[in-house]
Amino acid sequence: MLKGHGGNIFDLAQRLGCDPFDIVDMSSNVNPLGPLPGLVGFLKEKLTAITALPEVDARNTAQVFAARYRLESAQVLAGNGTTQFIYTIPPALDTRRALILGPTYADYADSCGMHNVRYDYLMTPESLDFEPDIETIIQRTGGYDTVFICNPNNPTGTLIPKTALERLCRYHPDTYFVIDESYLPFVNGADRFSMLHGGFPNVLILNSMSKIFRIPGLRIGFLISSGRIIEKFRAFLLPWSVNSLAQTAVDYLMKHTAEVDAFIDKTVAFLETERKLMTDAFEDVSGIKLFSSKTSFILAKLQGKITADMVCNHLAADGILIRNCSNFKGLSEHFIRISLKTDDINKMLAEKITKFLGSV
């Protein structure tokens, strides 16, 4: 497992001697508007659910999700976050050689390494602001049986159009494409980019509840694919993978469709405003470059002698976490990722970074 994931508020709180929830966490990519209103109160009323075992295979949870998104129940599997599926992919698909579109989330490579699968990276170039080129991906995919694509990508915030992904999947029908759509709900017009209803037998989609609904502690994610592929994964599913409160939360979210849709629309509009404000705040600041993003976080590169360690350590002393991206394969010690939060917190962070850059 990669040491240095975002969201480690407990480690910083221990070092500072404060409550973990007093940490300003701008390293974890969760909804800045918080959980869906009403959800936490509902879960408090359902706490007695923890006194009994949850449904052993969370089949009902998968069925509720399938009904909400107009899928066949045989196409959906519920698990202990998308991480469970990521680490199950190599054995379930009998992967021998994988390609990872990077720089990206480290767990794809870690899962391959854990199962002794040979893997290579196809890095999107910094010179093109990390924008993927579908022609290059099509050309380089030959010879690989499994390809990992995070869309939108973490940490670059880039997004591949659905039509381009369809071309790729059609061109290589014997290759499995794992499309991680964990951050897609943060994108304006997300349905136009999702492969959820693409109907490709060689596509596996990862869908996360953690990010958009800000419930990462509940650990709930979904795998969507053909019934044949889902059955392969069912053989690797551990009993009681999805806890009782997580199953209860999904039931609530999938049945409050109007509230969920309005909440997501509000989130997307908020993020579009905050992305622009954050970008504008650094437009005339020397020593840092922000890359264009389509989602809830922004990748930035520090210039000259300034490193991610320097900025992250300076902010950490004030109880603020941002993501040090130096341990992402394909990025250097000069990259950081900022997860957008509320307007006042975003402004505070921009001011602190600007002041620090002007002092070194």
DSSP-derived 3-state class of residue 166: helix
Helices (H), the chain: 9-16, 39-45, 59-68, 81-86, 89-93, 107-114, 134-140, 162-171, 227-234, 244-255, 257-281, 308-316, 343-357
d(CA 24, CA 46): 29
Q: What is the pLDDT of residue 360?
A: 82
Q: How far apart are CA 87 and CA 83, in angstroms?
A: 6
Closest by CA to 144, choosing from 75, 102, 93, is 93
Looking at residue 7, its pLDDT comes to: 60
- Predicted local confidence at residue 348, as pLDDT: 98
Cα 50 to chain centroid, rounded: 27
- Cα 230 to Cα 63: distance, rounded to the nearest angstrom: 13
Residue 324, both tokens: 């040090």
Q: Which residues contact 112 (CB under 8 A, 6 or more apart)?
A: 90, 95, 98, 100, 118, 119
Q: pTM of the prediction?
A: 0.95
The secondary structure of residue 242, as a DSSP letter, is S
CATH 3.40.640.10 residue spans of the chain: 48-256
Whether the Cβ atoms of residue 243 and residue 87 lie closer than 8 Å to each other: no
Provide the token pair at 221: 């994610």
- Pairwise CA distance, residues 296 & 304, whole Å: 27
pLDDT of 190-214, one tens digit each?
999 999 999 999 999 999 999 999 9
As annotated, the residues of the chain forming the CATH 3.90.1150.10 domain(s) are: 9-36+259-353
Q: How far apart are CA 247 and CA 65, in angstroms?
A: 11
Contact call for residues 203 and 243 (beta carbons, < 8 A): no
Q: What distance in Å separates the CA atoms of residue 104 and residue 147, rounded to the nearest whole number?
A: 13
pLDDT tens, residue by residue, 26-36: 999 999 999 99
Domain 9-36+259-353, CATH: 3.90.1150.10
Below-70 pLDDT ranges, the chain: 1-7
CATH architecture of 48-256: 3-Layer(aba) Sandwich (3.40)
